[in-house]
Structure 1
Amino acid sequence: MTIESISPAQARILVAQGAALIDIRERDEYARENIEQAHLLSLSAIENGDRLGPFDPFDTVIFHCQSGARTAQNAQKLVDAVAPAKVFLLEGGLNAWKKDGQEIHADKSQPLPLMRQVQIAAGSLVLAGVILGFSIHQGFFLLSGFVGAGLLFAGISGFCGMARLLEKMPWNQR
């Protein structure tokens, strides 16, 4: 089954005609910025069996994420989650929606998405380890190695200790 991608302008027309717009990003990403007409049904929730609906064959559902990559990679899961509705993917996701000049709801008081926090923390620790390793003592290179090993473990196992730690930080407790 081929799933059609549509532009933000086409999506806006379909939403005005009654199509459901579903954001598959995680709750923290949605809280920071979202399309006001979009319902949140994160990919992790879909994978856990959560559904919206029921839908019938005459319904239209448009899925979007941040850039369009997650929706494209998980297209079949998304179709299955709203079957038998007609499914479209928003080409370029939220980024394309904004670039097209469409309105979004943004709450910059919300913390950065957790994965961005992990990237910032891991990158900072690796950079600090390298700088300190060259300038102070070679033992600091172990910091970079430790962070690299943690990222490798997270990629293989699906468990990210740094993300779990950052999740408990005060700025993420809302």
Structure 2
Amino acid sequence: MTAPTTTITSLEAADLKAHLANGEQPIIIDVRTPAEFESMHIRGAYNVPLSMLAEHTSEFASRFEDGVVLVCQSGIRAEEARERLASAGLETASVLAGGTAAFADAGGDVVRGKRRWAMDRQVRMVAGSLVLAGFVGSRVVSRPVGYLSAAVGAGLTWSALSDSCAMASALSKMPWNQASVTPTLASTVQDIPVATGNVTLP
């Protein structure tokens, strides 16, 4: 059986702003963590964390029949989300180029809350610090400390091969990454309207 063809486009922040200004109402799905979403999000966006979307792809794909815009911090998670939705039969999807920050820079209407580092930035900080600590430790403390750098490198390699990130998963459980409200499947599905087909995104 042939997999369905999915039309996927990259939508510029200025173009999304113009569509919203014209009264169009695309379903905007922010796949970042609840804490990242709480820090800043496009007004009217719905938070569907990538982990939730991955578990219930078919349920969400059935609600995103037309005009859905996928958003994250850098585009990596939005890209993964669109691939998962494509496998569930979604025919049209747009990924916002540059994410929420680009939309804000373009003068788009965003809701701001408590400032937090994006998850990918936190991962880079922790991984880089561990590699540096391993290198310095191998020179100053004991050579076997250098295996810490090797372990981090192996972890990052596995993360790429498996398309998962144990470090991000662990960091998401830290106190500073907890949002005041965590979306559930029931509340999220109930809040997101079924697409009406009146959106003319490219």
TM over 0.5: yes
The Cα RMSD (Å) is 3.2
Q: CA deviation at 1:159?
A: 6.1
Residue in structure 2 matched with residue 142 of structure 1 by the alignment = 147
TM-score (norm 2): 0.64
The equivalent position to 1:41 in structure 2, one of 48, 54, 62, is 48
* Structure 1 unaligned spans of 5+: none
Judge conservation of contact 1:46–1:81 (CA < 8 Å) in 2. Answer: no
Q: CA deviation at 1:102?
A: 2.0
TM-score (norm 1): 0.72
Alpha-carbon distance change, 54 to 147 in structure 1, aligned in 2, over 3 angstroms? closer
1:113-163 Cα offsets, whole Å, 9 max, x none, are 444333322211210121122234323212222333343444455462x44
Residue in structure 1 matched with residue 130 of structure 2 by the alignment = 125
Judge conservation of contact 1:23–1:42 (CA < 8 Å) in 2. Answer: yes
SS at match of 1:60: coil
- Trace 1:152-167 onto structure 2 (pairs within 5 A): 152-156=157-161, 158=164, 160=166, 162-163=167-168, 165-167=170-172
Judge conservation of contact 1:64–1:93 (CA < 8 Å) in 2. Answer: yes
Residue in structure 1 matched with residue 60 of structure 2 by the alignment = 51
RCO higher in structure (CA 8 A, sep ≥6): 2
Percent identical residues: 33
Residue in structure 2 matched with residue 100 of structure 1 by the alignment = 106
* Structure 2 unaligned spans of 5+: 1-5, 180-202
Judge conservation of contact 1:71–1:89 (CA < 8 Å) in 2. Answer: yes
Q: CA deviation at 1:80?
A: 6.7
Judge conservation of contact 2:82–2:93 (CA < 8 Å) in 1. Answer: no
SS at match of 1:22: strand
Structure 2 CA distance for aligned equivalents of residues 5 and 39 of structure 1: 19
- Aligned length, in residue pairs: 169
1:82-113 Cα offsets, whole Å, 9 max, x none, are 957x543323322321231323223235x434
Residue in structure 1 matched with residue 200 of structure 2 by the alignment = none
Q: Does 1:90 align with 2:96?
A: yes
Judge conservation of contact 1:26–1:42 (CA < 8 Å) in 2. Answer: yes
Q: CA deviation at 1:171?
A: 3.1
Alpha-carbon distance change, 100 to 151 in structure 1, aligned in 2, over 3 angstroms? same
